[in-house]
Amino acid sequence: MDEDILRGREKVIVWIAGLANPLIAGFLFYYSWRKKFPNKAKQANTISFLALGIDLTLYLLLQNWFKLSNTF
């Protein structure tokens, strides 16, 4: 059961893929691991939702910042 936890390199790969494209990465990791490694799948899904939140927050902050910087 130890191999059913995201560790080290796998966790880094899931985070990078999640930040690059959280919806597709989350979908791919979750559905490829859900039967054989259910805990890994759940962790990857959680990371993809967190990455989506980070992406949306950064998008909104940067969008507002660029709007403000272009008004001067």
3-state secondary structure the chain: CHHHCCCHHHHHHHHHHHHHCHHHHHHHHHHHHCCCCHHHHHHHHHHHHHHHHHHHHHHHHHHHHHHHHHCC
Q: Percent of the chain, pLDDT > 70?
A: 90
Check residue 49 and give its pLDDT: 94
What residue numbers bound the domain in which 10 lies? 2-70
Check residue 27 and give its pLDDT: 93
**Percentage helix, strand, coil for the chain under 3-state DSSP, each rounded to 5:** 85, 0, 15
Judge if pTM exceeds 0.95.
no
7-63, pLDDT tens digit by residue? 899 999 999 999 999 999 999 999 999 999 999 999 999 999 999 999 999 999 988
Q: How many domains does the chain have?
A: 1
